A and B are shown apart, each in its own frame.
Chain A
Amino acid sequence: MSIDIETARKVAKLARIRVEPDALPALAAEFSAILGFIEQLNEVDVNGIEPMTSVTPMRLKRRDDVVTDGNQQAAVLANAPDAREGFFAVPKVVE
């Protein structure tokens, strides 16, 4: 399957990665090569086979639904590029 420039632009947008317009043709070509490789999967007969959800046949552990952690505002914010007054700060989201 060949990926066109418009599809590459759309995927970049969905992935929230800025790709300059002049870089899109090369990106589309790379996607096409990778997807061409993946196309081999169409040769496999997967009738009646369920998609794998867990590689080991075990039930996920459960625990009581209780608070086990908290009161660590300073630690949570310690690595933020911009933290103010106990919050993460971001550009204006609503006008």
Chain B
Amino acid sequence: MTDLTKLTIAAARDALRNGDVTSVELTEACLKAVDAAATLNAFVHKTPEIAMAQAKGADNRLKLGMSPDLCGIPLGIKDLFCTKRVPSQAASRILEGFKPEYESTVTDKLFTAGAVMLGKLNMDEFAMGSSNETSCYGNAVNPWRAANDSANLTPGGSSGGSAAAVAADLCLGATGTDTGGSIRQPAAFVGITGIKPTYGRVSRWGIVAFASSLDQAGPMTKDVRDAAILLGAMSGHDPKDSTSADIPVPDFEAMLTGDIRGKTIGIPKEYRMDGMPDEIERLWATGAAMLRDAGAQIVDISLPHTKYALPAYYVIAPAEASSNLARYDGVRFGHRAKLAQGDGITEMYEKTRAEGFGAEVQRRVMVGTYVLSAGFYDAYYNRARRVRALIKRDFDEVFAAGVDAILTPATPSSAFALGSMADADPVEMYLNDVFTVTVNLAGLPGVAVPAGLDAKGLPLGLQLIGRPWEEADLLNIAYSLEGAADFVAKPAKWW
């Protein structure tokens, strides 16, 4: 078999079970691709010894038959997931040297299913960013380049390393996390599939917390079928996360029929933004036409509070972050600043956090501190939580009226050049999440599917938003869209 790293999870699973390939062969091919792609800076901690040991174990298990879908499949793991005795830094200096003594629930589930970990993937520091430029490891680089242009582009963020690694065929799939769009925006920027499941579908235990009421982990994969397989393996109730839902996990892959006749798809008028590029508008209309041709009914809907999602998010997420990140104090783990003669414990906290946190993380922690401080709590934090309730109500009403899923663009642009936002106002960068952030605020599942290329030859994605807990239905609609869009373009290898 040639080009083992280009296999989908589904194809590799079948090849492994048929004995056409071994996990050791697959893993060696991926490790070689990872080493050859250092320029992309996607993998930031490589774990070849662990990978080879897991691959050998998987091959033994495969010989016995009855192995789970992921048995022997090489994956990349976002640095936000705690992996036992393997650096887990959330791309922050403040967690330099941190090697957890425990395994996150998600990675534990994946490894129990026989998956192989190639290493840890680059990301924005503490998942705060939309371009992977806030990472302590430096930028991850998008394997795609614009036609006749050698400028390095962002793979998006915060799961930028995951996106770059999957798009460049360094691994068969990757884990990501999504607080405001951090799976879907990077997936769209590199032409892969990424789903953020319903809040509570996947355990957050052992994932470094950013904004606990918004964070969800999910898969980033080469196609919708792979997303269904990997999501199934990541999902399920966990007694260690009290917000994880104790409801059955359907067989997502088995429900991919591609039959969406009779489904009602909503097109929200508020997502038509001023200054939106024509090609994104056209892509959106084309996507709606594809779903209509597949037998779905397309209806115009209104989500009137959409405009307020980003400002509400930029109160709630920093507020929760300021609380979650209080634990990084230089006492129990990670970095501690060198202290001067006479420095006390307050100086230790302040110096450690100033050295350990990057500029964007500091900014968000301080904004969060401000909106939670005495006198402002009601005006900012409580008001944002009220607006959040209204945003969720918008969706509830649309779903109650019979809409099965909502189609929107995934991002307001294609991937932009690394460094091009350096002088921008922080708020300009936040606008990247304009189409995705509503979904986190409402706790809904959302999937980004690659749907076309723009005039520069860069991928563009569409987003489908589903009813709570209806990931199976959502993925099936995404599967239909994927089939119609037939996005097969790959980045030309330059790295």
Q: Which positions in A face B, CB cutoff 8 Å?
A: 3, 7-8, 11-12, 14-19, 27, 30-31, 33-35, 37-44, 46, 49-56, 58, 60-61, 63, 72, 75-76, 78-82, 88, 90-93
The reply to whether the CB of B348 lies closer than 8 angstroms to some CB of chain A is yes
Could you tell me if A81 and B335 are in contact, using CB atoms closer than 8 angstroms? Answer: yes
In whole Å, how far is B215's beta carbon from the nearest beta carbon of chain A? 11
Residues of B within 8 A of A43 (CB): 308
The reply to whether the CB of B190 lies closer than 8 angstroms to some CB of chain A is no
Which parts of B357-389 form the interface with A (CB within 8 Å)?
A: 357, 362-363, 365-367, 369-371, 373, 380, 382-389
In whole Å, how far is A63's beta carbon from the nearest beta carbon of chain B? 7
In whole Å, how far is B217's beta carbon from the nearest beta carbon of chain A? 16
A-B contact count (CB 8 A): 166
In whole Å, how far is A11's beta carbon from the nearest beta carbon of chain B? 5
Q: Which positions in B face A, CB cutoff 8 Å?
A: 97-102, 198-200, 213, 239, 242-243, 245-246, 305, 307-308, 310-312, 314-315, 322, 326, 329-336, 339, 343-351, 353-354, 357, 362-363, 365-367, 369-371, 373, 380, 382-390, 392, 425-427, 430, 441-443, 468
Q: Which of A33, A51, A61 contacts B242 (CB 8 A)?
A: A61
**CB contact under 8 A between A93 and B344, given known A18-B350, A38-B311, A80-B331:** yes
A83's nearest neighbour on chain B, judged by CB, is: B332
**CB contact under 8 A between A81 and B362, given known A50-B386, A61-B246, A90-B348:** no
Could you tell me if A50 and B242 are in contact, using CB atoms closer than 8 angstroms? Answer: no
Could you tell me if B333 and A15 are in contact, using CB atoms closer than 8 angstroms? Answer: no
Could you tell me if A37 and B427 are in contact, using CB atoms closer than 8 angstroms? Answer: yes
List 5 interface pairs A-B (beta carbons < 8 Å), by A numbering: A38-B311, A39-B311, A51-B382, A56-B468, A79-B98
Residues of B within 8 A of A82 (CB): 336
Q: Which of B97, B314, B329, B373 contacts A16 (CB 8 A)?
A: B329
Among A39, A58, A93, chain B packs the most CB atoms within 10 A around the CB of A58
**CB contact under 8 A between A41 and B315, given known A63-B239, A90-B331, A92-B344:** yes
A78's nearest neighbour on chain B, judged by CB, is: B101
Complex: A82 Cα to B199 Cα, angstroms: 37
Could you tell me if A31 and B366 are in contact, using CB atoms closer than 8 angstroms? Answer: yes
Could you tell me if A58 and B200 are in contact, using CB atoms closer than 8 angstroms? Answer: yes
In whole Å, how far is B10's beta carbon from the nearest beta carbon of chain A? 30
Could you tell me if B322 and A15 are in contact, using CB atoms closer than 8 angstroms? Answer: yes
Complex: A12 Cα to B370 Cα, angstroms: 9
Among A12, A18, A19, A27, chain B packs the most CB atoms within 10 A around the CB of A18
What 4 A-B pairs are tightest by C-beta distance, nearest first?
A: A55-B443, A51-B385, A81-B336, A79-B333
Residues of B within 8 A of A75 (CB): 101-102
Q: Which of B98, B314, B468 contacts A38 (CB 8 A)?
A: B314
Residues of B within 8 A of A50 (CB): 386, 389
Complex: A78 Cα to B85 Cα, angstroms: 10
Residues of A within 8 A of B348 (CB): 90-91
Complex: A19 Cα to B388 Cα, angstroms: 32
In whole Å, how far is B113's beta carbon from the nearest beta carbon of chain A? 24
Could you tell me if A34 and B386 are in contact, using CB atoms closer than 8 angstroms? Answer: no
Could you tell me if A46 and B387 are in contact, using CB atoms closer than 8 angstroms? Answer: yes
**CB contact under 8 A between A88 and B314, given known A30-B363, A44-B390, A60-B243:** no
Could you tell me if B239 and A61 are in contact, using CB atoms closer than 8 angstroms? Answer: yes
A74's nearest neighbour on chain B, judged by CB, is: B101
Could you tell me if A55 and B442 are in contact, using CB atoms closer than 8 angstroms? Answer: yes
Residues of A within 8 A of B213 (CB): 54-55
Complex: A8 Cα to B326 Cα, angstroms: 18
Could you tell me if B336 and A52 are in contact, using CB atoms closer than 8 angstroms? Answer: no
Q: Which of A3, A52, A91 contacts B344 (CB 8 A)?
A: A91
Complex: A61 Cα to B205 Cα, angstroms: 15
In whole Å, how far is A17's beta carbon from the nearest beta carbon of chain B? 5
Residues of B within 8 A of A33 (CB): 425-427
Could you tell me if B305 and A79 are in contact, using CB atoms closer than 8 angstroms? Answer: no
Residues of B within 8 A of A41 (CB): 308, 311-312, 315, 380, 383-384, 387
A75's nearest neighbour on chain B, judged by CB, is: B101
Among A17, A19, A49, A75, chain B packs the most CB atoms within 10 A around the CB of A17
Residues of B within 8 A of A78 (CB): 99, 101
Complex: A80 Cα to B335 Cα, angstroms: 9
In whole Å, how far is A51's beta carbon from the nearest beta carbon of chain B? 3
Could you tell me if A34 and B367 are in contact, using CB atoms closer than 8 angstroms? Answer: yes
A68's nearest neighbour on chain B, judged by CB, is: B239
Among A43, A49, A55, A61, chain B packs the most CB atoms within 10 A around the CB of A55
Complex: A20 Cα to B488 Cα, angstroms: 51
Could you tell me if A31 and B370 are in contact, using CB atoms closer than 8 angstroms? Answer: yes
**CB contact under 8 A between A56 and B200, given known A34-B427, A51-B389:** yes
In whole Å, how far is B317's beta carbon from the nearest beta carbon of chain A? 12
Residues of A within 8 A of B332 (CB): 79-80, 88
Residues of B within 8 A of A54 (CB): 213, 243
Could you tell me if A88 and B246 are in contact, using CB atoms closer than 8 angstroms? Answer: no
Q: Which of A17, A34, A49 contacts B353 (CB 8 A)?
A: A17
Residues of B within 8 A of A18 (CB): 347, 350-351, 353-354
**CB contact under 8 A between A37 and B311, given known A56-B200, A58-B200, A90-B345:** yes
